[in-house]
């Protein structure tokens, strides 16, 4: 006779409570206004804002995943205590308030700051505030850790063993990494891409400092636009834009999850 797993049934309420906690605000936002009101809100610039937001977030996610490939290899293969200690700094941006991150980016990359002056000498006319560069640098600082850790867990847990087997069969380190390692991390790379992309889409705090509007078009990224609408127009418009953001985000994540399952 099959034994009943009492612990399994005991923990069902915790699962249900957490799922309800996540779903309730989402459902409340989507049902706060009529469908017609949400459609009307689509003319307030939210779709143009989402286009820029999703594309820039995808660019940052691709850069983060690309950077994670050599980074993870070096850290995982290194035996130095210093390397391991410095690797712990990857999580540092996660704990810093995001408005502080915006200020950090300004005092680092503005043209009148030391590093900014150096860049200005190489690229005359260099600007940082309210530019695409400010968005990309700030989002990479905040979201790259998600991609690095997602890839690092997969590589250090399983993939290194497969690579070592490949080396015993005569493969060079370079060949074993690109022929065995990277394909074996396909799911981890995709997961890192998703996490980094989602984190970039959700960013507001640092963008309020470094890129409230992106010049010369004056476009606001999604989180900033919704915050601006809330302050200037009112709650209903901000909720309608939030509904569109949630719906498009759910569709994007669903498509990525389908791709991940196929992988």
pLDDT, mean over the chain: 87
Q: Would you say residue 28 lies in a domain?
A: no
Q: Would you say residue 251 lies in a domain?
A: yes
Q: Would you say residue 19 lies in a domain?
A: no
Q: Would you say residue 174 lies in a domain?
A: yes
* Residue 131 tokens, joined: 């530019």
Which of these ranges, 36-40, 44-48, 61-65, 120-124, has the smallest mean pLDDT? 36-40
For residue 223, give the nearest of 213, 233, 215, 22 by alpha carbon.
213
Q: Would you say residue 148 lies in a domain?
A: yes
pTM of the model: 0.86
Mean pLDDT, residues 41-68: 89
Mean pLDDT, residues 224-245: 88
User: Which 3 state secondary structure label does DSSP give 60?
Assistant: helix
pLDDT for res 2: 60
Q: Would you say residue 243 lies in a domain?
A: yes
Q: Indicate whether 234 pLDDT > 60.
A: yes
pLDDT digits 0-9 by tens, 136-156: 999 999 999 999 998 888 887
Q: Indicate whether 263 pLDDT > 60.
A: no
Q: Indicate whether 35 pLDDT > 80.
A: no
Distance CA 196, CA 204 (A): 15
Whole-angstrom CA distances from 96 to 193, 222, 252 are 22, 22, 28
Distance CA 68, CA 134 (A): 21
Domain range for residue 130?
49-262
pLDDT for res 16: 93
Asked whether the bond before 11 is cis by omega within 30 degrees of 0, the reply is no
Given a contact cutoff of 8 angstroms between Cβ atoms, the answer to whether 140 and 62 are in contact is: no
Give the confidence band of 249 by pLDDT, cuts at 50, 70, 90. Answer: confident
Give the confidence band of 161 by pLDDT, cuts at 50, 70, 90. Answer: confident
Please tell me the total count of domains within the chain.
1
Q: Would you say residue 44 lies in a domain?
A: no
Higher model confidence: residue 34 or residue 183?
183
Q: Residue 190: which CATH number? A: 1.10.3720.10
């Amino acid at each position: 006779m099959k034994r009943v797993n009492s612990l399994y049934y005991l923990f069902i309420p915790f699962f249900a409570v957490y799922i309800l906690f996540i779903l309730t605000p989402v459902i409340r936002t989507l049902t706060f206004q009529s469908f017609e009101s949400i459609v009307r809100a689509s003319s307030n610039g939210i779709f143009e804002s989402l286009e820029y937001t999703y594309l820039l977030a995808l660019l940052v996610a691709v850069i983060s995943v690309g950077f994670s490939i050599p980074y993870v290899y070096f850290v995982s293969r290194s035996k130095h205590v210093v390397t391991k200690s410095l690797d712990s700094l990857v999580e540092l941006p996660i704990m810093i308030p995001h408005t502080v991150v915006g200020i950090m980016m300004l005092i680092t990359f503005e043209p009148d700051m030391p590093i900014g002056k150096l860049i200005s000498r190489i690229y005359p006319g260099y600007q940082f505030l309210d530019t695409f560069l400010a968005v990309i640098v700030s989002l990479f600082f905040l979201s790259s850790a998600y991609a690095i850790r997602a890839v690092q867990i997969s590589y250090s847990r399983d993939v290194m063993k497969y690579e070592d087997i490949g080396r015993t069969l005569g493969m060079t380190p370079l060949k074993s990494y690109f022929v065995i390692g990277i394909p074996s991390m396909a799911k981890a790379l995709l997961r890192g891409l998703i996490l980094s992309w989602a984190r970039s889409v959700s960013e507001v705090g640092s963008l309020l400092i470094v890129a409230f509007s992106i010049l010369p078009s004056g476009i606001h990224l999604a989180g900033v636009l919704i915050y601006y609408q809330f302050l200037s127009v009112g709650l209903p418009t901000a909720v309608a834009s939030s509904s569109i953001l949630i719906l498009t985000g759910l569709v994007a994540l669903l498509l990525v999850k389908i791709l991940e399952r196929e992988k």
